[in-house]
Chains A and B, each alone.
Chain A
Amino acid sequence: MNGVPMAAYLLLGLVLFTIGVVGVVIRRSPIVIFMCIELMLNAVNLTTLAFARYLPQFVAGRERGHTAVAGEMIVIFIMAVAAAEVAVGLGIIMAIFRLRDSTDIDQMNVLRG
């Protein structure tokens, strides 16, 4: 389709996901970690869309007529969940910042064993 192979989408998804993972593990600012999580989610969205577009024959429930937009629907769900998660997460971060005047993730360790 348009001459772009599926592998290119998957490769882009892999790169985005890896950036997201590395960001979550090495950064200490919760805002940045959130952005990295968003990156990972969008990498997943991208690969899901690529599969839905290029490999429709593997969509589950195809024999019952679910072929058309199953992958696309999952992506929309993921976006909704990501938006909700950000809303809640940012609320938590604001609350912690008001409490401690800091958002360093390594200082949020009161639940250590």
Chain B
Amino acid sequence: MGDSDFSYVPWIVFTPLLGFLFQALLGKFLIDRLGARGRWFCGFAAVLVVAFPFLLGVAAAFKLAGMAPAMRGTMVTVAPWIDLVGFRAPLEFYVDPLSITMVLVVTGVGSLIHLYATGYMAEDADYPRFFTYMNLFIVAMLILVLAGNLPLLFVGWEGVGLCSYLLIGFWYKDHANAKAANKAFIFNRVGDLGFVLGLFLLFCVLARSAGSVPDGRFLSFDLIRVQLVNAIGANPGYATAIALLLFVGACGKSAQFPLYSWLPDAMAGPTPVSALIHAATMVTAGVFMLNRMYPVFQASPVAGGVIAAIGAFTALFAALIAFGQMDIKKVLAFSTVSQLGFMFVACGAGAYDAGMFHVVTHAFFKALLFLGAGAVIHAMAHNQDLRNYGGLRKYLPITFLTVMAGFLAIAGFPYLAGFASKEEILGSAIGNGAVVVRISGFVALFTAFLTAVYMARLAGLTFFGAERWRELPEPHAHEDQALPALMEDEPDPNRFYYTAAELAEREAHAAHADHHELGPEHKPHEAPLSMSIPLIALAIPSLLAGFILGGERLQNWLYPAGVKPGLLGWDAPPWLPWVSGAAALLGIAYGLRTYMKGLPADQGWDMGKWNPLRRLSADQFHYDAELMAGMSVGGRTVGLALSKGFDPLFVDGTVNATGYTAGALGLMLRKLQSGYVRFYALTMLIGVLAIVGYLLYASKGGASL
């Protein structure tokens, strides 16, 4: 038991794994047997197995903090896994400041969201299935962040993708949700293709110099940095190729521009899922991976410029789209895409620690905002349209105060969490030497202003102004407005999905009292305690994380000077805090002034009266629709070409040609089967004579066998 003994670290992963098995195998049984007490116990177990690793993580963090900066990296090997000659990738966990920081975020925010979910999902019939997936997600995410080598990281990477798919499609009977789940999965496959190619290229490059690694673990993170410097130093072109391929993977997982559009659709999942997976943890895996593999990205200024440019464009693009969204969760989804863009700007500028800083603060305030949105949705009979809200601060005081904290944090109110981390991002980008990165920094600065405005729009429309649902007609009078049609009305041949009629019937029969239609008589009510505790617990770090982690404290923790060499320095211009603070305050003031009064006339139910630009933004500038149409038409063209051209010509051709050849050969050979026994005997004789003759000839030394 030395000072660097981290043998308990694998339990950080195993505990939620046990929880997953418990929920999967016993959850339904317990609830069937014990009813409400079984539900309570399932929820309790689900929260416990996430909270316990958090305590382990805290212990590991304190132990790391007590060590010398150069010693803060310990590999804990659990079992052999891939064991080949010259290449080994055991099941191993790497304990260093980066992984432990992510463990704390994942388990800390994760346990709060699990607690919230026990309230939010309390009446769902598939309660244990939900927590089965949630715990499995925590397992996969912890494998991803704690992985000691790249193959294991990839296991976690795919695992979180699977859980994301399962949870987006959690209410799978609704066709739209199943479609959204498929979309998320397929978009991630596109990114993963790049990621896997990057891994293969990295493997090839490193395998060449693998002789210097004693036990073949050349993809393990404790050895990879030196390896990379050796292998890439000679061929900087490899660094660019690997970095860009890995970044394609990060684009998929972290919803960056060409591959972003699965994330808004992922809001089809339950709100705790949106908060945990699609805001706080999984979507930041790309930024984490960039931090983990930073020597590759550092070696390639080209890749850095590309990453910063794509990040800045995504941030701006998503922020503009957020202005046209009326679904409260969609606004938050595009805000997440936009904030992820900020993180990539930082990584592109070489300030990986600033990216991680924003990952941490964003996890707090975005999870808070999503949970707050969940509380609002819960209070408003599962209606998500901002146009139906208004004046809710009277009815939901806790939600109002906490969401305001999150709103001020994300908007960049001076000295709150979002301000502190955005400050480092903007400083690193604007102070950077490369022109592309500097332009990205200014784009990000403008986006920070937009962020304040559209978040003020969300807060203003939700909590201030008139109580607009009072003006709604009586329930059931016009279902198409209160409940947008969710799917085409064709019955599913397998009876697997609900038709719209069945879905409406199911909604109507939903047993619990607050699940009625939104109408003028609706009385919003504050969420139960299990939902408001996480809100309060997340509001505190949203306000204070800037003070705790800022001022280069996180930087020294993740990238201590002299231990992780070569981080690009930057000179943040001295005017930056003033300008960005002013931009945030201006945005907040402008946004609140516009939207506190109520719904502006040009954003009402009649989209025809909307400003054309806002209509365009509501439609994601046609990007998603065009992409989907292009992909489906293109995919169909390729499929048709394959099925009409390649398949009959080459596949069928090969098969048929083999058959015809065999038949023709048989026609020739059947003549030999004359039926005359004496002919067969003669043939045998000739054969024997030929062989004997050859043997005699060979034994005379005429030929060698």
Q: Which residues of A contact B (CB under 8 A)?
A: 21, 24-28, 105-106, 108-113
Instruction: Say how far A104's CB is from chain B's closest CB, in angstroms.
Output: 11
* Chain B contact residues, majority secondary structure: helix
Q: Which of B653-704 contact A (CB under 8 A)?
A: 669-678, 681-682, 685
Contacts of B672 in A (CB 8 A): 113
Contacts of A28 in B (CB 8 A): 678
Can you list 7 pairs linking A and B with CB atoms under 8 Å apart? A25-B681, A26-B678, A106-B678, A112-B675, A112-B676, A113-B669, A113-B671
Contacts of B676 in A (CB 8 A): 105-106, 109, 112
Instruction: Say how far B662's CB is from chain A's closest CB, in angstroms.
Output: 15
Instruction: Say how far B236's CB is from chain A's closest CB, in angstroms.
Output: 69
Cα A21 to Cα B685 with chains together (Å): 8
Instruction: Say how far A16's CB is from chain B's closest CB, in angstroms.
Output: 15
Contacts of A111 in B (CB 8 A): 673, 675
**A21 closest partner in B (C-beta):** B685
Contacts of A105 in B (CB 8 A): 676-678
Q: Which residues of B contact A (CB under 8 A)?
A: 669-678, 681-682, 685
Partner of B673 from the list A21, A25, A112 (CB cut-off 8 Å) is A112
Cα A106 to Cα B675 with chains together (Å): 8
Cα A26 to Cα B673 with chains together (Å): 18
**A111 closest partner in B (C-beta):** B675
**A36 closest partner in B (C-beta):** B681
Instruction: Say how far B692's CB is from chain A's closest CB, in angstroms.
Output: 12
Partner of B674 from the list A25, A27, A112 (CB cut-off 8 Å) is A112
Contact across chains for B675 and A110 when beta carbons are under 8 A apart: yes
Q: A27-B678, A106-B678 are in contact. List 13 more A-B contacts (CB 8 A).
A: A21-B685, A24-B678, A24-B681, A25-B681, A25-B685, A105-B678, A106-B676, A108-B677, A110-B675, A112-B673, A113-B671, A113-B672, A113-B675
Cα A113 to Cα B669 with chains together (Å): 8
Instruction: Say how far A36's CB is from chain B's closest CB, in angstroms.
Output: 10
Cα A96 to Cα B660 with chains together (Å): 38
Cα A60 to Cα B703 with chains together (Å): 27
Cα A108 to Cα B674 with chains together (Å): 11
**B677 closest partner in A (C-beta):** A105
Pick the 9 closest A-B CB pairs, nearest first.
A109-B675, A112-B675, A113-B673, A113-B670, A24-B681, A25-B682, A105-B677, A25-B681, A25-B678
Contact across chains for A109 and B674 when beta carbons are under 8 A apart: yes
Cα A110 to Cα B671 with chains together (Å): 14
Contacts of B685 in A (CB 8 A): 21, 25
Contacts of B682 in A (CB 8 A): 25
Cα A69 to Cα B681 with chains together (Å): 33
Contacts of B674 in A (CB 8 A): 109, 112-113
Instruction: Say how far B607's CB is from chain A's closest CB, in angstroms.
Output: 79
Instruction: Say how far B688's CB is from chain A's closest CB, in angstroms.
Output: 9
**A110 closest partner in B (C-beta):** B675
Cα A26 to Cα B681 with chains together (Å): 10
Instruction: Say how far A24's CB is from chain B's closest CB, in angstroms.
Output: 5
Cα A112 to Cα B677 with chains together (Å): 10
A24, A25, A109 — most chain B CB neighbours (10 Å): A25
Instruction: Say how far A13's CB is from chain B's closest CB, in angstroms.
Output: 15
**B669 closest partner in A (C-beta):** A113
Cα A28 to Cα B676 with chains together (Å): 10
**A27 closest partner in B (C-beta):** B678
**A106 closest partner in B (C-beta):** B676
Contacts of A26 in B (CB 8 A): 678
Contacts of B673 in A (CB 8 A): 111-113
Instruction: Say how far B353's CB is from chain A's closest CB, in angstroms.
Output: 81
